[in-house]
Amino acid sequence: MTPILELANVSKRFGGIQAVKDASFSVGQGEILGLIGPNGAGKTTAFNMIAGFFKPDTGTIRLEGKDIAGKKPWEICEAGIGRTFQLSKPFGDLTVVENLMVGGFARNRDRRVNREKAEEMSAFLGMAAKRNIEANNLTAFDRRKLELGRALCTEPKLLLMDEVVAGATPSEAGEMVELVLKVRARGISILIVEHVMKVIMSLSDRVVVLDYGEMIASGPPKEVVSQPAVLKAYFGERYVQSRA
């Protein structure tokens, strides 16, 4: 089966800094791929290039075989990629349902259909009771879920998630992991950038490790984290120390 997303030799430079160098990896159909690496490894840059916020200097990014490198964010969305942001960006003065409806309008002009879809989505997120609350009045975690739901309303084939559990309590993180698995069960492939190793280990089918813009390892999470190159990249971080 062809991968849903395929990056080939993608590079990006900001002034003197090589943020991403010759990155090549792919996300399979229905796969959850974790993109990890120490701070400043180029994860977010790679993420933003896929999402259309930056244009790669070289290389191709293919969604189901079609090159999408350098396309605008709204074209990326139309092509079938949804995303969440590291710092969630809800439309504060719209209600939960209205927020979700904005996502729906990407595929459908009919307000009524979108409203129904949004109501369903709020239930899927476990936020049915909060669906008429303004996003401003939601907790940080609810905003994160709302953002996930909003992206899902655009009916993506691939979902990009930036730091899904940042700032969440352990029980919230558990809820988010479950939600992500439920999203995958809908047949959506997922690419996750995440700092919290526990989440990556429990969610990902496969991980890709970036360091200084270069891909240093890839494979099933359990194997990858024991590779010397990865341990070296992470050396000093508490997670590695505790295992050593």
Using CB under 8 A as the criterion, which residues of the chain lie in contact with other proteins when the complex forms?
51-53, 72-74, 76-78, 82-83, 85, 89-95, 98, 101-103, 105-106, 109, 111, 119-120, 123-124, 128-129, 147, 150-151, 154, 182, 186
In the complex, minimum distance from the CB of residue 222 to other proteins, in angstroms, rounded to a whole number: 31
DSSP state letter for 149:
H
In the complex, minimum distance from the CB of residue 125 to other proteins, in angstroms, rounded to a whole number: 10
Q: Helices in the chain by DSSP H: which ranges?
A: 43-51, 73-79, 96-104, 111-124, 140-153, 170-185, 197-203, 221-224, 228-234, 238-243
In the complex, minimum distance from the CB of residue 150 to other proteins, in angstroms, rounded to a whole number: 6
For 36, phi then psi, to 5°, come to: -125, 175
Question: Residue 26 pairs with which residues in a beta bridge?
Answer: 6
In the complex, minimum distance from the CB of residue 242 to other proteins, in angstroms, rounded to a whole number: 33
What token pair was written down for 85?
Answer: 């942001």
Straight-line distance from the first to the last Cα atom of the chain, in angstroms, rounded to the nearest whole number: 38
Which C-beta is closer to other proteins: that of 74 or that of 235?
74
Burial class (CB in 10 A: 0-12, 13-18, 19+), 184: middle
Which C-beta is closer to other proteins: that of 127 or that of 230?
127
Angle subtended by helix axes 111-124 and 140-153, to nearest 10:
130
- For residue 101, CA distances in Å to 86, 93, 104, 179, 213 come to 21, 14, 5, 20, 37
Which C-beta is closer to other proteins: that of 103 or that of 213?
103
Which C-beta is closer to other proteins: that of 188 or that of 233?
188
In the complex, minimum distance from the CB of residue 168 to other proteins, in angstroms, rounded to a whole number: 20
**Distance separating alpha carbons of residues 210 and 48, to the nearest angstrom:** 15
In the complex, minimum distance from the CB of residue 25 to other proteins, in angstroms, rounded to a whole number: 22
Which C-beta is closer to other proteins: that of 101 or that of 197?
101
In the complex, minimum distance from the CB of residue 22 to other proteins, in angstroms, rounded to a whole number: 26
Burial class (CB in 10 A: 0-12, 13-18, 19+), 74: exposed
